[in-house]
Amino acid sequence: MLWTAIVLGFLGSFHCVGMCGPIALAVGGANKNKFLGNKILYHIGRSMTYAFLGLVIGALGFSLALAGIQQGLSIGMGILILIFAISFKKSERFFSIPLFSKTIHLIKSKLGKYLKSGKSSAYFATGIINGLLPCGMVYMALVAALALQSSLMGAAYMFFFGIGTVPLLLILMVSGSVFSVPLRQKFQSAIPYLGVIIGILFIFRGLGLGLNGFSPDLQVYNYGAEQIEITICR
């Protein structure tokens, strides 16, 4: 499943160019010796935020699995990913609401001022904060992390999602330009199809058909049924 995180992150980076492009271009600083290093720090910070979110959401998925609904959870999250993928464009309109758009603009402007300090820690902190900006692609990845029902797997999934966004954004940072708009739109149009594939994979995973790597038997957590023998000394 981790490969889907990398692919989802790569395709999502074409969307990130519009959302985070101005911030990405601001990362680097005037010091040429630290130029690439600052960019790497930025991406590490952003990926670490994603990993932390995955850790939390994965722990929630594990807790739900303990309740004995792991199969239903995987199927339900798969269906939710399908809905997310099909209505991807509509979900983005949610963030165009004045309240959200003004908040996002304020955060971006603050980050821009913070970057002017030129300190390496500023770029790392900018990446951490930028990972918290609202993004439909991140939310789709988090739904997948929840369905994995493991805090470690959730953290790994979100970290690799962040790594998947790095190549394109790094090119943008270094060159100051990116692929043509028509080509970017073609890649963006592939996002819903990938979302559908991921959703179907999680649905089959929840069915527990016994197919290793595709639809494995899900472990049933039933701690309440365990019997513990206790020897009482008199």
Cβ neighbors of 124 (< 8 A, separation 6 or more) are 41, 42, 44, 45
Q: What local confidence, expressed as pLDDT, does residue 226 receive? A: 42
- What per-residue confidence (pLDDT) applies to 49? 94
pLDDT of residue 216 exceeding 60 = no
Domain layout of the chain by residue ranges = 2-225
What's the whole-number mean pLDDT along residues 170-194? 71
Contact 196, 86 (CB under 8 A): yes
- pLDDT (tens digit per residue) in 75-109: 888 898 888 888 766 655 655 556 666 777 777 67
pLDDT range class, residue 155, cuts 50, 70, 90: very high
> Over 60: is that where the pLDDT of 117 sits?
yes
How many residues appear in the chain?
A: 234
What are the pLDDT digits (tens) for 7-66? 888 887 777 766 665 566 566 555 556 667 888 888 899 999 999 999 999 999 888 877
Amino acid 173 reads M
| Total-model pTM | 0.76
Longest dimension (CA), the chain: 82
The whole-number pLDDT of residue 132 equals 82
The token pair at 213 is 């790597």
Angle between helices 2-26 and 98-115 (to 10 degrees): 70
Burial label, 182 (beta-carbon count in 10 A; 0-12, 13-18, 19+): exposed
Q: What's residue 203's pLDDT?
A: 87
**Residue 58 near residue 152 (C-beta atoms within 8 A):** yes
- Nearest Cα neighbor of 89 from 15, 26, 143 is 15
Find the Cα–Cα–Cα–Cα dihedral 22, 125, 131, 164, rounded to 10°: 80
In the numeric block, which tokens belong to residue 225?
């049924």
